[in-house]
Chains A and B, each alone.
Chain A
């Protein structure tokens, strides 16, 4: 009995390794993200995680998304969700509404992150108006306690253009990682434009 269990374990463990192939994003080359016209020009190399977190989303990282998680959301329309459903029946993801105000976006992100990532606490620490993609936008910082009991900090920059949500997000452990790559994320935000 035990041998069958171990064998099953081995097979299951080996399967996904081949299935997920991530892609290197080259430095100093324009790349469009989240299946949209949103274009980024990174100055350092990033890794793109092959599995899309949502229909209108894309995920980049340097050391793995638990240590530095950069998310792009583009052209999110009325009724879309930020992340793929985890359990549509019991914990459906909240839908974006094109009547939302910019100041409503922190609450919307909180609900999405709690359900998608199992975040236990989410606290917004600052919300301010900025210009992003040439539009009036909102930028907010937050801190979270993850399902893995790790405290993280995050930054989000978002705007709504003709009823569609565009957002960039950075989340990393508050110890060491957040400060280390904060500047790299700011650079990505500064380089964002439409092609």
Chain B
């Protein structure tokens, strides 16, 4: 009985949103926001309680980037996208993790991964992802998915938790947060029809706030290309995107970017892209985010990512990262390429003195000792206090 009432209540809420959207002549008109919302029934209160606990852990986590300037920037961009009244109900947490992902909990907490910020090239691109996630929240998709999958999830969720505990016992690594996420992941999976309504509402935010809507399709295309490059480099078939964290909860296929592009053609698009302002806001963060990406041992994907970011021309940071990537793989041909990237990086950004270190080490590893020694000596003159200075001095015999 409770379940039935809950279902009817949820249906009314859901249909009132979609109905009000469809009642307009314009399908991309943003509906009036309902304001502060509280969970309505037992299911939803339970879901919120889990999300509240999750958020409490997240709030205190050292993985969250606290920098006020970056947080203000992402928040102001999000508020600009969905409007002031909607944005007031959302807390944004920027999580340092090299993955393309953003997710929204049913209680209004949003996770934005540093890997997402790295992959965006303009404010319009970031706005399209944040708007899409918020649309799932506004339409309360996680509640609907939760209800539908609940009976099936009970046992599966238990098996997953206990199974993970069993694995943990053997290896000793605590992936409990990941386990929790895996269970939630099962609950928060979005269905195709939900994707479609979120797409439409997401595009509506973009259109209303004056962003260029074609950015959305660019984002999907870029991420799918990256996944293809990862696959090809590892010698397997491409076209499967489960490895991309975001797509684990968002069904997708090769046509998705095209579908989005077609949808974008029907939306009254603004013309604001915001590439330059996005680049300058991210300037200080790109080196750190790229560095996290380099440790993933994903040569194909990372190389594509760097070249995509260099669409408007290489910068010293991008060339340096590319040098590090090639030097890390370390085939003789890679070392030759790496040395070239470091040299180019030094021309564009002579102040980025780590390029001297990379150049020296690439040459040394390729047995070009004399030139390598010169480069390392230059680095040590510029950075006498470098954390590995003693090691480098020993290598060059100083």
Contact = CB atoms under 8 A, between A and B. Distances in A.
A65 to B, nearest CB: 4
A148 B176 contact: yes
B100 to A, nearest CB: 14
Contact of A13 (B162, B172, B243, B388): B162
A51 interface: yes
Given A101-B395, A111-B296, A9 B174 contact: no
B33 interface: no
A51 B170 contact: yes
A122 B295 contact: yes
**Overall SS of chain B's interface:** helix
B162 A103 contact: no
A34 to B, nearest CB: 17
A109 to B, nearest CB: 10
A112 to B, nearest CB: 9
Contacts of B365: 99-101, 104
**Overall SS of chain A's interface:** mixed
A8 B159 contact: yes
A136 B173 CA distance: 33
Interface in A119-155: 120-122, 124-129, 136, 138, 140, 145-149, 151
Given A101-B395, A147-B173, A5 B234 contact: no
B390 A127 contact: yes
B37 interface: no
B387 A127 contact: yes
A128 B388 CA distance: 6
A12 B295 contact: no
A53 B173 CA distance: 11
A70 to B, nearest CB: 12
B186 interface: no
A183 to B, nearest CB: 23
A1 B155 CA distance: 8
A127 B159 contact: no
B220 to A, nearest CB: 20
Contacts of A92: 234, 297
B387 A124 contact: yes
B391 interface: yes
Interface string A1-30: 110111011001101110110000000000
A53 to B, nearest CB: 8
A106 B388 CA distance: 10
B79 interface: no
A186 interface: no
A128 B236 CA distance: 40
Interface in A49-66: 49, 51, 53, 61, 64-66
B56 interface: no
A86 B194 CA distance: 33
A16 B30 CA distance: 54
Nearest to B62: A145
Contacts of B297: 91-94, 111, 115
A65 B172 contact: yes
A92 B297 CA distance: 7
A91 B173 CA distance: 17
Interface in B345-362: 361
Given A8-B158, A66-B174, A120 B63 contact: yes
Given A12-B162, A120-B97, A128 B174 contact: no
Contacts of A2: 154
Nearest to A124: B387
B170 A20 contact: yes
A35 interface: no
A66 B166 contact: no
B330 interface: yes
A184 interface: no
Contacts of B280: none
Interface of A: 1-2, 4-6, 8-9, 12-13, 15-17, 19-20, 49, 51, 53, 61, 64-66, 69, 89-94, 97, 99-104, 106-107, 110-111, 114-115, 117-118, 120-122, 124-129, 136, 138, 140, 145-149, 151
Given A107-B328, A127-B387, 11 more contacts: A20-B170, A91-B297, A93-B297, A101-B364, A104-B365, A114-B296, A121-B63, A124-B387, A136-B394, A148-B177, A151-B62
15 contacts: A1-B154, A5-B154, A8-B158, A16-B167, A53-B171, A89-B236, A91-B297, A92-B297, A103-B395, A111-B294, A126-B387, A129-B391, A146-B174, A147-B174, A149-B62
Closest 9 A-B residue pairs measured CB to CB?
A127-B388, A148-B174, A65-B172, A129-B394, A94-B297, A12-B162, A5-B155, A9-B162, A5-B158
